[in-house]
Structure 1
């Protein structure tokens, strides 16, 4: 009997942990967005401040959220991603709403090459010996 209870407890301990990053926007809030009618202030009142804006474009707002699941010691896996892209016109009126999900994302390839630096490439020994005597020079008498 105790073996069954121990097995049940150990299975319960393997339950995954879900973490939500950002502030997901539900379908009701998205339905209340009215392109052509709402200003930036109206959108902030409805959804809050955007998660991100491009540095040189005040008319594009992003609301982003991720849901990650982690099981035991394995790396977290993103199971859901929501990016709401809002485009405003020059009069700060909402122009369009676009919803982007996890299926639109792609892995970014990491480039392994290194950029060469021109000039000297001292060895470790040259670096160690090059600093001898540089910092402990005696100065003249202080007055």
Structure 2
């Protein structure tokens, strides 16, 4: 009788542990936004589109407005139990180029309380003409459902 009681208690403890682990939040990263350490290897006004591709890699988005900008977009999502996934961090690194391919601006934008915030900016000239585009990118990346992709 005592062995059955211990076995039942062990199974119950395992069941409780399993249920509690199912309630833990999980996190997923989507896309890629280079870190400040990666960007420190790039010199504004010296490096080009080619050296950027070699150092950091190809961008998430390019050619949206023209060939003068590359956008690296990274998001972190939190999944918890039965709740809808929530974006807890989204960053866009915008790199602008002159006509000869030399980097003129590197800017990092984030999402804070639903608003686009400039987190970091290294520029040779003030050029934030694409802020509306960056706002659209930050607000829309990752907000596409499977139904929208399939066309239903």
TM-score in terms of structure 2 length = 0.64
Q: 2:79 aligns with which of 70, 73, 93?
A: 70
- Number of residues of Structure 1 aligned to a counterpart in Structure 2: 108
Could you say what secondary structure the match of 1:57 adopts?
Answer: coil
Q: Which residue of 2 aligns with 1:22?
A: 31
Larger-gyration structure (1/2): 1
Cα offset, 1:32, TM superposition: 1.3
| Structure-1 separation of matches of 2:111 and 2:26 | 19
Runs of 4+ residues over 4 Å off in structure 1: 105-108
Give TM-score, length-normalised by structure 1. 0.67
Of 42, 64, 84, the residue aligned with 1:33 is 42
CA separation in 2, counterparts of 1:91 and 1:33? 17
- 2:53 maps to 1:44: yes
- Structure richer in strand, relative to its length: 2
TM superposition shift of 1:53? 1.8
For the residue of structure 1 that corresponds to 2:20, the secondary structure is helix
Gaps of 5+ in 2: 1-8, 117-134, 141-152
Which sections of structure 1, spanning at least 5 residues, go unmatched? 109-143
Correspondence for 2:102 = 93
Following TM superposition, by how much is the alpha carbon of 1:27 offset from its aligned partner in structure 2, in angstroms? 2.1
SS in 1 for 2:72: strand
Partner of 1:58: 67
Paired residue for 1:79, among 70, 78, 88? 88
Alpha-carbon distance in structure 1 between the residues aligned to 2:60 and 2:14: 46
- Aligned residue runs from structure 1 range 99-118, under 5 A: 99-103=108-112, 104=116
Instruction: Give the 3-state SS of the residue equivalent to 2:96 in structure 1.
Output: strand
